[in-house]
Structure 1
Amino acid sequence: MRLGIDIGGTKTAAVALGDGDAMSEMLRLPTGFGADEVLATAQSTVERMSELAGVPADRFDSIGVGIPGAVDAATGRVAHAVNLGLEGLDLGPRLSDRFGVEVRVENDVKAAALGAHHLLTNAGEAPDSMAYLNFGTGLAAGILQGSRLLRGGHGVAGEVGHLPVDPAGVRCGCGQTGCLETIASGSAIARMWPTAHPLPALELFDAADAGDERAVEVRERFLGGVAAAVRALVLTVDVDAVVIGGGLAALGGRLDEGVHRILDEWAAESAFLASLELSRRVRVIPLGFPAAAVGAALVGAAAPESDSPWPKS
């Protein structure tokens, strides 16, 4: 039985994969803030999942953790995760010492890419290469070539949210101007569509469907940004499939249909883009599928990668 834990900014989710990749019910706990609280949350999650599975924690075959921020997958150290208040935490080694099981740690979006690939494989698709586009508060991608994560020379492969696309746009939190993340993300929608509604994206799409001209304008700008992220990934790494996930994937069919529509419009104007069949490559992850937790379980069971993505000091 392989345990996967997805530590998010506000909640932590966990699943266990059993024989035949049967998935347990998902456990959710609030995530603490700061190194001590994050570690305590992870420990509590392992203990609670051990109770639910009916096995001692040291009998899990593997434990994997997905967590936001800069992660050294080779050592299990989280260098920093701003939203969790972390500046250096040996999460993998600390959990391994506590439970007597080897623990592997991965960036949450990269873990989710593995989970999404697992989902497609079980559905009979098994793409040789795939990108997982995570649209949450921000925007980032995890990329797989074969069954391996593409990290790049410094561990930042897939940071498409910080590709500048609009020189006249707003300043991004990264310090650049007009990044994709300022157009296609939860924070972008909150800025372009100010509202007290707890789910701004849902209200935006509802208002656009009802004919609100301003809502239509914002929705189309957002969908154009999502489509641009798909195009950027295909043009740079030519993946067979692009899976859209993250909190905004809850828009479901409306997101799927909107992105396909825009990609098809671009294809109608460009023979080159038409030849790439961009819309054919896009999927939106099913609502409720715990991609990051499933991917974390797969990370935990994977053989260690020989090289750290971080430069040697």
Structure 2
Amino acid sequence: MRLGIDIGGTKTDAVALDETGRLAQRIRLATGFGSAAVVETAVSAVSRLGELTGLAASGFESIGIGIPGLVDSTSGHVAHAVNLGLDRLELGGELAGRLGVGVRIENDVKAAALGAWHLMGLTGTLAYLNLGTGLAAGLVVDGRVWRGSRGIAGEIGHIPVDPNGALCACGQRGCLETVASGSGIARQWRTDDPLPVRALFAAAADGDEEARAIKARLAAGIASAVRVLVLTVDVETVVIGGGLSHLGDRLLCDVHEVLASWAQASPFLASLALPDRVRLVPEGSLAAAIGAALVGEN
């Protein structure tokens, strides 16, 4: 069995996959805040799944962890995971010392990309477009995560598309992330709703012109991300995941409409069949945790 853990800002999902890659066990824990608490959360997840499967940590074929932030998958070092209260943490080394076995650490979006590739039975190349608080993509080529020379392949959220746009957290202006992400929506649409994008879509449905304009910018930003991924990497499939993917077909239809309008104006883009390449990750699929289990041997 392979064990995978997806450590999120508030919750941690952990799974055990059997020898065929099927889900055998799953659990969910609250994620602790700070270095020590994150390590304890991971150790607890391994312990709980060990109880359910009857295996010690050393009995699993591999253990992998997906976590936000800048991750060195070789050393297991994690940096700048702000939502977890981490500045720098040698997570791989800490867990190896606690568990007595090696653990593979990977960025959560890259892990989710591998999980989506596996869950959806895809072949060839995949880009997993994660639309959460920020925007980033994970790339999979023939079943293996493609990290690039320094591990930042897929960080397309920080490609500037409007030099006069909003200031991005990265220090640039008008990045894709400023319009096509949860934080971008929250900045543009002030609301008491804990899910601003939900309030935005409701207001747009009621005819609010400002809401409709922001919603249109969101769809155009996501479509731009799809176009970038296809034009730079020529991926066969772009899978949309992350928190905004819960909007489902309401979001996907908007993106398809933008891509189709571009195709009408450009024979070149029409030849790329962009709308046909875009899909949603299956709802409730635990792609990141499953990908973490797979990345343990990737």
Q: Given the two structures, how large is their TM-score scaled by the length of structure 2?
A: 0.96
Q: Is the 8 A contact 1:64 1:296 kept in 2?
A: yes
Give the C-alpha shift of residue 129 in structure 1.
0.7
Give the C-alpha shift of residue 300 in structure 1.
1.1
Give the C-alpha shift of residue 32 in structure 1.
1.4
Cα distance in 2 for partners of 1:25, 1:254 equals 32
- Counterpart in the other structure of 1:266: 262
Superposed, 1:31-110 pairs within 5 Å as: 31-110=31-110
Matched, 1:199 2:199: no
Cα distance in 2 for partners of 1:301, 1:155 equals 17
Give the C-alpha shift of residue 234 in structure 1.
0.6
- Partner-residue secondary structure (3-state), 1:250: helix
Q: Is the 8 A contact 2:25 2:52 kept in 1?
A: no
Cα distance in 1 for partners of 2:90, 2:214 equals 42
Give the C-alpha shift of residue 51 in structure 1.
1.7
Amino acid corresponding to residue 187 of structure 2 in structure 1: R
Give the C-alpha shift of residue 54 in structure 1.
3.1
Cα distance in 2 for partners of 1:238, 1:226 equals 16
Q: Which digits, 9 at most, give the CA deviation of each residue in 1:25-48, with x for residues without a partner?
A: 532212112211111111111111
Give the C-alpha shift of residue 271 in structure 1.
0.5
- Counterpart in the other structure of 1:283: 279
Cα distance in 2 for partners of 1:70, 1:177 equals 21
Cα distance in 2 for partners of 1:64, 1:182 equals 31
Q: Which digits, 9 at most, give the CA deviation of each residue in 1:41-93, with x for residues without a partner?
A: 11111111212223333322211000111111112221332222223322122
Amino acid corresponding to residue 177 of structure 2 in structure 1: E
Cα distance in 2 for partners of 1:25, 1:64 equals 15
Q: Is the 8 A contact 1:92 1:105 kept in 2?
A: yes
Q: Is the 8 A contact 1:127 1:241 kept in 2?
A: no
Matched, 1:163 2:159: yes
Q: Is the 8 A contact 1:131 1:239 kept in 2?
A: yes
More strand by share: 2
- Counterpart in the other structure of 2:289: 293
Q: Is the 8 A contact 1:4 1:293 kept in 2?
A: yes
Cα distance in 1 for partners of 2:109, 2:74 equals 17
Cα distance in 2 for partners of 1:153, 1:21 equals 29
Q: Is the 8 A contact 1:120 1:127 kept in 2?
A: no
- Counterpart in the other structure of 1:311: none
Task: Out of 28-37 and 158-167, give the one that drifted further.
Answer: 28-37
Q: Which digits, 9 at most, give the CA deviation of each residue in 1:104-150, with x for residues without a partner?
A: 010101101100111122xxxx2311100000000001112222322
Q: Which digits, 9 at most, give the CA deviation of each residue in 1:10-35, with x for residues without a partner?
A: 21111111132221353221211221
- Counterpart in the other structure of 1:28: 28
Cα distance in 2 for partners of 1:23, 1:151 equals 26
Amino acid corresponding to residue 98 of structure 2 in structure 1: R
- Partner-residue secondary structure (3-state), 1:205: helix
- Partner-residue secondary structure (3-state), 1:170: coil
How many residues are matched?
Answer: 298
Task: Out of 99-108 and 244-253, give the one that drifted further.
Answer: 99-108
Structure 2: any 5+ residue segments left out of the alignment?
none
Cα distance in 2 for partners of 1:174, 1:261 equals 30
Matched, 1:7 2:21: no
Structure 1: any 5+ residue segments left out of the alignment?
303-313
Cα distance in 2 for partners of 1:200, 1:264 equals 27
- Partner-residue secondary structure (3-state), 1:66: strand
Amino acid corresponding to residue 213 of structure 1 in structure 2: E
Amino acid corresponding to residue 55 of structure 1 in structure 2: L
Amino acid corresponding to residue 74 of structure 2 in structure 1: A
Matched, 1:235 2:231: yes
Cα distance in 2 for partners of 1:205, 1:24 equals 37
Cα distance in 2 for partners of 1:87, 1:138 equals 18
Task: Out of 194-203 and 45-54, give the one that drifted further.
Answer: 45-54
Cα distance in 2 for partners of 1:210, 1:5 equals 40
Matched, 1:131 2:95: no
Give the C-alpha shift of residue 291 in structure 1.
1.0
- Counterpart in the other structure of 1:186: 182
Q: Given the two structures, how large is their TM-score scaled by the length of structure 1?
A: 0.91
- Counterpart in the other structure of 1:142: 138
- Counterpart in the other structure of 1:306: none
Q: Which digits, 9 at most, give the CA deviation of each residue in 1:142-190, with x for residues without a partner?
A: 1122223222222111110000001121100000000000000000111
Task: Out of 196-205 and 271-280, give the one that drifted further.
Answer: 196-205
Q: Is the 8 A contact 2:25 2:49 kept in 1?
A: no
Amino acid corresponding to residue 78 of structure 1 in structure 2: V
